[in-house]
Amino acid sequence: MTAATSRRRAAAAPPPSVGRRATDLGVLGLLFVLALVGFQTAYGGVQFAITGVMALVLGMLIALLSAHLRWGPLRTLPIVLGVYFLFGPMLAAPTRALWGILPTPGSLWELLKAPVTTWKSALTVAPPVGSAQGVLVVVWLSVLLLSLASATIVLRTRRYVLAWLFPLVLLMVTVVFGTTDAVQPVIRGVLFAVVSVAWLTWRFESARLDNAQSTIISDSVRPGSWKNPVLRRRIIGGGVIMAIAVGAAFGASSLLDPPEGAGRFALRDRISPPFDPDLFVSPLSEFRGYRKDQRDAVLFTVTGVEAGDYVRLATMDQYDLHVYNVAGNRDRTSTSGAFMRTASGVNLHEPGEQQRTASVTIGDYRGVWLPTLGERTDRIDLSSLPQERAGVTAENLFLNEKSQTAVNAAGVDEGDIYEFLYEPYTEPAAEQLESASFADIAMPENSRVDQIAVVAEEWAGDSDSDYKRFANLSRALKYEAFYSNGLAEDTASLSGHGVSRLLAMLDPIGFDKEQPDAQPTGKIGDEEQYAALLAVMARSLDMPARVVMGFEVPEGQEGTVSITGDNVTAWVEVAFDGVGWVRFDPAPDEDQDPTRPDPKEVEKPLPQVAQPPPPPAEPPSPPPGAMSEESDPHEPPEDPTRSWVVYLGIGAIPIVLALLAALAIVVAKSVRRGRRRSRGDLATRVDGGWQEILDQLTDLGRAPDRLSTRAEIAARLDGEVPAMGATLLASRADRAVFGPDDLPAQAADEYWTQVQEARRGLAASVPWHRRLRGALSLRSFRRRAAERRAEHRLDKANRRARAKADRRAASLRQRRSSLRGTSPRTATRSRKGNP
């Protein structure tokens, strides 16, 4: 069968039935849903599924409407944009929508910028990412566009394989924006493969039967009927093969798992986190300020706690000789972890048996570090906040899974309420610690102090037990140690935990009675100094230790407790293999106060808080608002969207988009012109020059008749624009295309030079506004397709006319043959009766 015969049969084939179209859309919808499930590990909950299914339904409805009305891309685009902005606030930006349904300026602005920003947001929020910050636009936009394209192709063309590729693209999107965990990969993969193979085979067989004339079955059996023995054998055989393949796939599923240490690739693990703790002052440097300035102030109120519980504020694991810092890292799997955007209202972990619930209501506390509880945060819920405040907070919520440090990058405000689900800290048994060894983890590099390392080696001893070595170090630090924060009537004590302050704590305890304002030396300090010194000593011996600052629930209180600045504390955590991070309290009891100098020799010794020696290098200056003292508790945070620059930028967006679209059209036409001039043989390039003139005529609204020859078009142009020389251009184009191949190589360049002059003359013959409209017109991009459609319609009409003529000729031949077998008198009588 020749190609021409195949094309004729394809053209004569009947249009697809309603049942076939419904089957195509149903199969594609099922494939999209199977791919959509892959977002589960990244988003959590069911909101992403609702968004994806609605996007799938709307995309296919738009494709059906567009196919029924025979709309092109330019008519379909406004419908897509309308659906995107009308349903997007409810499905893709619910945190910004009014009541989670109606569009608001904030939700529309989020949808407008989401196609550019949402991809990074979805990768920088720690999974599950929830629904804030426009992360649902990844699902909304991907499914809407891919389903629209797939349904359009399968409804308007016979390229069903191309339509099948779009669910596969969505499957790849779920892999890129997913996590290293997969949702039932074997079941979903097998179902996707089975449905795909069955549908593609059915479509191929249907197309083959539509274009073929079977000779092995009777005329009473349709080619696609179940009574067709050939089709019946193929379906049964294919079903058996598919069943065997499915069984083998499930049986070998364990062999398909990746080897240990070679897990799935997750793009989010390669994205740099947006929150940088180095931009903020270490919270431990503000330790003395809580006792001095906010001793009786209610910083926050916490519920669901017991006496002695620790409220974690921040975890610090890097010492730079000045302060202990919250280490920033880009690798989520490192010991320090990474601060990843965290969605509110979603479960970050599976709940444990001892999971507890608590809430924190902010009072006078200010800063970016959020109070948390326990050793693991399972959920952070912002539902108790007002909608506007909840939206701002959700966009600035971060959590470091490794250090369990939570952050509100925008800063907390009075009245903020956070609800937590957390796993409480459990003290390990002494027998378990006796045999435990230090965890083999890579801590951030600390600045080494040789004097402290020598003392630490001596105090730790040479025990074979890792726990005993650290316990010896902790006990030696507490031995003959005294507690003082240098405030009120307490013995004077230097603040800070720089290297000079820590080295002074290793000197013998004493006073210089000759100097009334002298500070005591030796092991005198509060939780800040003892926690920092113990962690530095442990790290000098390669023990995995870190400092945690927070607050302790006072004795005798439980349930709902008000935390004040007097409850501030710090402790040390050490990582043991198989046990986890174990807490140690390095500070002596508060009643361990050192003996003061004789008051007779020093009448009124005034406590003086001296500053540590100037550091060798200036530490980085924190941005405004990083220090808690710099934030005004009564001044609400400035809303950046109120700035006139933002409004000006929003207003300029349509203008910028229009200019970019115009620039894209001009560039596309220039690229097309260059391809026509430089590609192909001489005849092709010359014909490209003539096509460039036809395109310019089309863009100017003077499109020639598609069935006219070059000479006819040139004759009309010579009458309208004589300066063009259209007749000469048409004759040269006909000579190059249809004449012998005897033109020189430079003839094409000369022809294009004449074409450019003709185009300038044609443009000069119309007003400037028509020239501008023609330069931005897209009609020329549709001209060739319109010509092909016209030729196809003409060819179809000619085929119908020939078929009609053939039927009439066959009817006449049949009548003549029937008349030959009758007598002349009968034939005459027949002709008289049938004029």
* Mean pLDDT value of segment 179-189: 75
Across 274-278, average pLDDT: 75
273's tokens:
């986190």
Q: Are 420 and 384 in contact (CB under 8 A)?
A: no
Neighbours of 745 (CB within 10 A): 7
Q: What span, in angstroms and rounded, lies between the C-alpha atoms of 438 and 448?
A: 20
Dihedral sign from CA coordinates of 731, 737, 738, 739: positive
pLDDT 10s digits, 610-626: 444 444 444 444 444 33
Q: pLDDT higher for 124 or 691?
A: 691
Question: For the chain, what percent of residues have pLDDT higher than 90?
Answer: 14
Q: How far apart are CA 239 and CA 703, in angstroms?
A: 55
Phi, psi for 162 (deg, rounded to 5): -65, -40
Residue 322 confidence (pLDDT) above 90? no
59: confidence class by pLDDT, cuts 50, 70, 90: very high
| 3-state SS string for 350-364 | CCCCCCEEEEEEECC
In this predicted structure, what is the pLDDT of residue 303?
93
Looking at residue 470, its pLDDT comes to: 92
What is residue 310's predicted lDDT score, i.e. its pLDDT? 94
Q: Within its chain, how far is the Cα of 71 from the centroid? A: 32
pLDDT in tens, 533-549: 999 999 999 999 999 99
User: What are the phi and psi torsion angles at 217 (to 5°)?
Assistant: -130, 165
- The pLDDT score that the predictor gives to residue 824 is 53
Strand partners, 570: 549
Average pLDDT over residues 802-812: 85
- Stated as kind and residue range, the H or E segment containing 792 is helix 779-820
Distance CA 183, CA 30 (A): 16
Backbone angles phi, psi at 63, to 5 degrees: -65, -40
pLDDT for the residue numbered 648: 57
Angle at 87 between CA 85 and CA 93, to 5 degrees: 80
> What tokens were used for 739?
């004449």
Instruction: Kindly indicate the confidence band of residue 326, based on its pLDDT and cuts at 50, 70 and 90.
Output: confident
Q: How much is the CA Rg of the chain, to the nearest whole Å? A: 40
Q: Report the DSSP pairing between strands 298-305 and 559-564.
A: antiparallel
- Does the pLDDT value for residue 29 go beyond 70? yes
pLDDT on residue 647 = 53
- The pLDDT value recorded for residue 481 is 84
Residue of 357, 389, 387, 385 whose CA lies nearest to 373:
357
CB 455 within 8 A of CB 551: no
- Dmax (CA) for the chain in angstroms is 162
How does pLDDT run across 539-581, given as a tens digit for each residue?
Answer: 999 999 999 999 999 988 989 999 999 999 999 999 999 889 9
Q: Among candidates 344, 341, 380, which has minimal Cα distance to 359?
A: 380
d(CA 477, CA 506): 9
Mean confidence (pLDDT) of the chain: 78
Phi then psi for 748, rounded to 5 degrees?
Answer: -65, -45
pLDDT, one tens digit per residue, over 747-787 is 888 888 888 888 888 888 888 878 888 888 887 887 777 77
Residue 695 CA to residue 709 CA, distance in Å, equals 15
pLDDT, one tens digit per residue, over 88-98 is 888 878 877 78
Residue 88 burial (CB < 10 Å; 0-12/13-18/19+)?
buried
Contact by Cβ (8 Å): 521, 533: no
Q: Which strands sit side by side in the sheet containing 405-408, from one edge to the other?
A: 125-126, 339-342, 397-400, 405-408, 369-370
Cβ–Cβ under 8 Å, residues 132 and 343: yes
- In order, the DSSP letters of 208-264 are HHHT---SSS-TTS-TTSTT-HHHHHHHHHHHHHHHHHHHHHHHTGGGGSPPTT---
Q: Is 100 left (phi over 0), alpha (psi -120 to 50) or beta?
A: left
Q: Are the C-beta atoms of residues 585 and 548 closer than 8 Å to each other?
A: no
Say yes or no to pLDDT of 669 above 80: yes
Smallest CA-to-CA distance from 120 within 353, 341, 443, 282 is with 341
Q: Which is it for strands 482-483 and 376-381: parallel, antiparallel or unpaired?
A: unpaired
Helix or strand holding residue 325 (H, E): strand 324-325
Which of the four pLDDT bands, split at 50, 70 and 90, describes residue 724?
Answer: confident
- Amino acid making up residue 703: A
Tens-place pLDDT, residues 440-486: 888 888 888 888 889 989 998 888 888 999 999 988 888 878 888 77
